[in-house]
Structure 1
Amino acid sequence: MFDSTDLELKDRADVPALAVESAALFSALADPLRVSIVRFLDGREAQCVCDIQEAFDVAGNLLSYHLKILREAGLLASFRTGRWIHYSVAPAAAALIAAALPLAVPPMPNTHTPKEAR
Protein backbone atom coordinates (compact mmCIF):
# COMPACT_ATOMS: atom_id res chain seq x y z
CA MET A 1 0.00 0.00 0.00
CA PHE A 2 1.24 3.50 -0.82
CA ASP A 3 1.99 5.72 2.15
CA SER A 4 1.78 9.41 1.31
CA THR A 5 3.45 10.43 4.58
CA ASP A 6 6.81 9.74 2.91
CA LEU A 7 6.06 12.53 0.45
CA GLU A 8 5.94 15.35 2.97
CA LEU A 9 7.27 18.57 1.55
CA LYS A 10 10.39 19.80 3.26
CA ASP A 11 9.97 23.40 2.11
CA ARG A 12 6.47 24.74 1.51
CA ALA A 13 7.95 27.87 -0.08
CA ASP A 14 8.35 25.87 -3.29
CA VAL A 15 4.64 25.07 -3.44
CA PRO A 16 2.36 27.64 -5.07
CA ALA A 17 -0.29 29.00 -2.72
CA LEU A 18 -3.06 27.89 -5.08
CA ALA A 19 -1.79 24.30 -4.88
CA VAL A 20 -1.91 24.37 -1.08
CA GLU A 21 -5.40 25.89 -1.09
CA SER A 22 -6.55 23.39 -3.71
CA ALA A 23 -5.25 20.47 -1.65
CA ALA A 24 -7.30 21.70 1.33
CA LEU A 25 -10.37 22.03 -0.88
CA PHE A 26 -9.99 18.54 -2.34
CA SER A 27 -9.39 17.15 1.14
CA ALA A 28 -12.68 18.70 2.28
CA LEU A 29 -14.48 17.07 -0.66
CA ALA A 30 -12.77 13.70 -0.19
CA ASP A 31 -15.53 12.39 2.05
CA PRO A 32 -18.79 11.13 0.47
CA LEU A 33 -20.93 12.60 3.27
CA ARG A 34 -19.37 16.05 2.79
CA VAL A 35 -19.99 15.90 -0.96
CA SER A 36 -23.60 14.90 -0.23
CA ILE A 37 -24.02 17.80 2.18
CA VAL A 38 -22.77 20.30 -0.41
CA ARG A 39 -25.08 18.80 -3.04
CA PHE A 40 -28.02 18.93 -0.59
CA LEU A 41 -27.42 22.60 0.22
CA ASP A 42 -26.69 23.68 -3.36
CA GLY A 43 -29.57 25.75 -4.71
CA ARG A 44 -31.41 25.91 -1.38
CA GLU A 45 -31.87 28.65 1.14
CA ALA A 46 -29.77 28.30 4.27
CA GLN A 47 -30.72 25.22 6.29
CA CYS A 48 -30.42 24.81 10.03
CA VAL A 49 -28.25 22.00 11.30
CA CYS A 50 -31.32 20.11 12.52
CA ASP A 51 -32.74 20.01 8.96
CA ILE A 52 -29.43 18.80 7.55
CA GLN A 53 -29.21 16.18 10.28
CA GLU A 54 -32.72 14.96 9.47
CA ALA A 55 -31.86 14.69 5.76
CA PHE A 56 -28.79 12.55 6.42
CA ASP A 57 -29.70 10.69 9.62
CA VAL A 58 -26.25 11.22 11.10
CA ALA A 59 -25.21 11.93 14.70
CA GLY A 60 -25.10 15.62 15.58
CA ASN A 61 -21.46 15.64 16.64
CA LEU A 62 -20.38 13.92 13.41
CA LEU A 63 -22.44 16.32 11.30
CA SER A 64 -20.94 19.31 13.13
CA TYR A 65 -17.46 18.00 12.40
CA HIS A 66 -18.17 17.66 8.67
CA LEU A 67 -19.86 21.08 8.48
CA LYS A 68 -16.82 22.63 10.17
CA ILE A 69 -14.47 21.07 7.60
CA LEU A 70 -16.60 22.37 4.71
CA ARG A 71 -16.89 25.84 6.25
CA GLU A 72 -13.15 26.11 6.88
CA ALA A 73 -12.49 25.08 3.26
CA GLY A 74 -14.67 27.99 2.10
CA LEU A 75 -17.37 25.77 0.62
CA LEU A 76 -20.10 26.61 3.13
CA ALA A 77 -21.23 29.84 4.73
CA SER A 78 -22.98 29.93 8.09
CA PHE A 79 -24.84 32.33 10.33
CA ARG A 80 -26.37 32.06 13.77
CA THR A 81 -29.95 32.91 14.68
CA GLY A 82 -30.35 32.54 18.42
CA ARG A 83 -29.10 29.06 19.20
CA TRP A 84 -29.55 27.79 15.64
CA ILE A 85 -26.77 27.73 13.06
CA HIS A 86 -27.79 27.83 9.41
CA TYR A 87 -25.59 26.68 6.53
CA SER A 88 -25.63 27.38 2.81
CA VAL A 89 -23.22 26.90 -0.06
CA ALA A 90 -20.76 29.80 0.01
CA PRO A 91 -21.14 32.24 -2.88
CA ALA A 92 -17.46 31.74 -3.78
CA ALA A 93 -17.62 27.92 -3.68
CA ALA A 94 -18.01 27.49 -7.45
CA ALA A 95 -15.10 29.85 -8.09
CA LEU A 96 -12.92 27.97 -5.58
CA ILE A 97 -13.64 24.66 -7.29
CA ALA A 98 -13.13 26.13 -10.77
CA ALA A 99 -9.75 27.56 -9.74
CA ALA A 100 -8.64 24.28 -8.15
CA LEU A 101 -9.83 21.90 -10.84
CA PRO A 102 -6.99 22.47 -13.33
CA LEU A 103 -4.51 21.45 -10.63
CA ALA A 104 -6.30 18.15 -10.06
CA VAL A 105 -7.17 17.17 -13.61
CA PRO A 106 -4.59 17.60 -16.35
CA PRO A 107 -5.87 19.10 -19.59
CA MET A 108 -7.15 16.62 -22.14
CA PRO A 109 -4.98 16.37 -25.24
CA ASN A 110 -6.71 17.63 -28.35
CA THR A 111 -6.77 14.46 -30.44
CA HIS A 112 -9.71 15.43 -32.60
CA THR A 113 -9.33 17.40 -35.79
CA PRO A 114 -12.00 19.98 -36.54
CA LYS A 115 -14.27 19.05 -39.46
CA GLU A 116 -12.92 21.93 -41.54
CA ALA A 117 -9.37 20.54 -41.40
CA ARG A 118 -10.37 17.04 -42.57
Structure 2
Amino acid sequence: EQHGVVEELLRFHRHADLVFRMAIEQGKVGGATIKEAGEVLVSMVDTDRDANVRAHPDIWLDFGGRRDHVGLAFGFHQCLGQNHLVRELEIVVFEILDGLPGLHQVGVPEDGPSRRT
Protein backbone atom coordinates (compact mmCIF):
# COMPACT_ATOMS: atom_id res chain seq x y z
CA GLU A 1 0.00 0.00 0.00
CA GLN A 2 1.45 3.38 -1.01
CA HIS A 3 0.28 5.18 2.10
CA GLY A 4 2.01 2.59 4.30
CA VAL A 5 5.36 3.01 2.57
CA VAL A 6 5.31 6.78 3.14
CA GLU A 7 4.24 6.43 6.78
CA GLU A 8 7.08 3.96 7.37
CA LEU A 9 9.49 6.37 5.67
CA LEU A 10 8.38 9.13 8.06
CA ARG A 11 8.67 6.78 11.06
CA PHE A 12 12.12 5.61 10.08
CA HIS A 13 13.62 8.98 9.06
CA ARG A 14 12.11 11.83 11.06
CA HIS A 15 13.01 15.43 10.29
CA ALA A 16 13.74 16.58 13.87
CA ASP A 17 15.58 14.46 16.42
CA LEU A 18 15.77 17.13 19.15
CA VAL A 19 12.96 19.41 20.27
CA PHE A 20 12.64 22.01 23.01
CA ARG A 21 9.66 21.91 25.35
CA MET A 22 8.66 24.00 28.36
CA ALA A 23 7.53 22.30 31.58
CA ILE A 24 4.03 23.38 32.61
CA GLU A 25 4.71 22.34 36.20
CA GLN A 26 7.66 21.30 38.33
CA GLY A 27 8.58 17.64 38.15
CA LYS A 28 11.40 15.13 37.97
CA VAL A 29 12.82 13.51 34.87
CA GLY A 30 15.55 10.92 35.26
CA GLY A 31 16.39 12.19 38.74
CA ALA A 32 16.70 15.83 37.64
CA THR A 33 14.24 18.42 38.92
CA ILE A 34 12.64 20.47 36.18
CA LYS A 35 11.14 23.73 37.42
CA GLU A 36 7.84 25.10 36.19
CA ALA A 37 8.42 26.97 32.90
CA GLY A 38 11.87 25.37 32.67
CA GLU A 39 13.09 24.41 29.20
CA VAL A 40 13.74 20.77 28.43
CA LEU A 41 15.59 19.43 25.39
CA VAL A 42 13.88 16.21 24.37
CA SER A 43 15.53 13.56 22.20
CA MET A 44 13.03 12.04 19.79
CA VAL A 45 15.57 9.57 18.36
CA ASP A 46 14.13 6.41 19.92
CA THR A 47 10.46 7.40 20.09
CA ASP A 48 9.51 5.21 17.13
CA ARG A 49 11.88 2.40 18.11
CA ASP A 50 9.92 0.93 21.02
CA ALA A 51 9.96 -2.87 21.02
CA ASN A 52 6.76 -2.78 23.11
CA VAL A 53 4.97 -1.19 20.14
CA ARG A 54 6.59 -3.01 17.19
CA ALA A 55 8.08 -6.49 17.08
CA HIS A 56 11.10 -5.29 15.07
CA PRO A 57 11.28 -1.50 15.56
CA ASP A 58 14.68 -1.04 13.88
CA ILE A 59 13.77 -2.91 10.72
CA TRP A 60 11.86 -1.37 7.83
CA LEU A 61 9.06 -3.81 7.25
CA ASP A 62 5.83 -2.50 8.70
CA PHE A 63 3.89 -1.22 5.68
CA GLY A 64 0.55 -1.20 7.47
CA GLY A 65 -0.08 2.51 6.93
CA ARG A 66 -0.23 3.14 10.67
CA ARG A 67 0.13 6.76 11.67
CA ASP A 68 1.14 6.10 15.24
CA HIS A 69 4.68 7.38 14.68
CA VAL A 70 5.90 10.81 15.79
CA GLY A 71 7.85 11.58 12.62
CA LEU A 72 5.75 14.72 12.20
CA ALA A 73 5.50 15.44 15.94
CA PHE A 74 2.35 14.83 17.97
CA GLY A 75 -0.40 16.50 19.95
CA PHE A 76 -0.43 20.28 20.05
CA HIS A 77 2.90 20.40 18.20
CA GLN A 78 2.04 18.09 15.32
CA CYS A 79 2.67 19.32 11.80
CA LEU A 80 -0.41 21.08 10.46
CA GLY A 81 0.59 20.24 6.89
CA GLN A 82 1.14 16.54 7.50
CA ASN A 83 -1.69 15.35 5.23
CA HIS A 84 -0.36 17.51 2.42
CA LEU A 85 3.20 16.30 3.02
CA VAL A 86 2.17 12.64 3.04
CA ARG A 87 0.28 13.08 -0.25
CA GLU A 88 3.24 14.88 -1.86
CA LEU A 89 5.60 12.11 -0.76
CA GLU A 90 3.25 9.47 -2.16
CA ILE A 91 3.22 11.24 -5.52
CA VAL A 92 6.99 11.74 -5.63
CA VAL A 93 7.96 8.26 -4.44
CA PHE A 94 5.54 6.39 -6.67
CA GLU A 95 6.02 8.56 -9.76
CA ILE A 96 9.75 7.81 -9.49
CA LEU A 97 9.09 4.09 -9.05
CA ASP A 98 6.60 4.04 -11.94
CA GLY A 99 9.27 5.68 -14.11
CA LEU A 100 11.71 2.86 -13.35
CA PRO A 101 9.76 -0.27 -14.36
CA GLY A 102 12.87 -2.48 -14.34
CA LEU A 103 13.69 -1.62 -10.73
CA HIS A 104 13.46 -4.64 -8.46
CA GLN A 105 15.15 -6.20 -5.47
CA VAL A 106 17.94 -8.57 -6.48
CA GLY A 107 18.70 -10.04 -3.08
CA VAL A 108 18.68 -9.51 0.63
CA PRO A 109 21.58 -7.69 2.30
CA GLU A 110 23.74 -9.97 4.44
CA ASP A 111 22.54 -8.34 7.67
CA GLY A 112 18.86 -8.67 6.76
CA PRO A 113 16.31 -6.01 5.82
CA SER A 114 17.28 -2.33 5.81
CA ARG A 115 18.34 -1.20 9.25
CA ARG A 116 19.09 2.17 10.80
CA THR A 117 22.71 2.23 11.89
Same fold (TM over 0.5): no
Q: TM-score, normalised by structure 1?
A: 0.26
Query: Highest Rg: 1 or 2?
Result: 1
TM-score computed with the length of structure 2 as normaliser: 0.26
Where is the helix percentage greater, Structure 1 or Structure 2?
A: 1
Higher relative contact order (CA 8 A, sep 6+): 2
